[in-house]
Chain A
């Protein structure tokens, strides 16, 4: 079965510090991975897709197939980055079922 693990429920950093949100996955096929973000009282938004290798709001994520990881990183955290972050795996092939991790609540302190 496909599984997404986010080992940290809570992560607290100071403004300007680097931040890394961990995501590990279990999947027998070729993974398609995403990061979603949910700011307070807002809907979930797509942040990153591994296929596009893009940087959004200063965040990047690299797929490491050897370590089955897709960690989200930002070199200098900002207070507005405080949010719930979810890692997600497309586990249904062409049927496109997203399996989510349990999320990490990031708090960036001033």
Chain B
């Protein structure tokens, strides 16, 4: 099993550009989430999904879009990149159920200049 796979690992964007961060999991997990990690801020939830076709906003959704057309994939789209979106982005997945922990991907380090 590959677990949770994120691509790319590193990306530099210019302000105003758009891009999609890819996330795929091969564990048949129902739940998937996107977090951003910033120094001194911990991890903040951007968007999450409890199953294919179902998504909802987290704590910091502005400027990001998601969709969940399959159980395996949960891409995160940056609509018009801004320097404030410079961060490390983590995708995570979990089995349905109240006490299963999330499995995290290795992260995407994004710099917006």
Contact = CB atoms under 8 A, between A and B. Distances in A.
Interface residues of A, number: 27
Interface string A48-79: 01011000000000000000000000000000
A43 B50 contact: no
A94 B98 contact: yes
Interface in B17-53: 31, 33, 35, 40-45, 48, 50
Interface string B74-113: 0000000000000000101010101101111111000000
A95 to B, nearest CB: 6
A94 to B, nearest CB: 7
A34 interface: yes
A52 B98 CA distance: 12
B104 A96 contact: no
A101 B45 CA distance: 12
Contacts of B41: 102
Contacts of A101: 42
B43 A96 contact: no
A90 B96 CA distance: 13
A61 to B, nearest CB: 13
B61 interface: no
A22 B60 CA distance: 25
Nearest to A47: B101
A94 B104 CA distance: 20
B105 A43 contact: yes
Contact of A97 (B58, B103, B105): B58
A13 interface: no
B29 to A, nearest CB: 11
A98 B33 contact: yes
A95 B96 CA distance: 9
A34 B98 contact: no
A96 B102 CA distance: 10
B42 A100 contact: yes
Contacts of A49: 99, 101
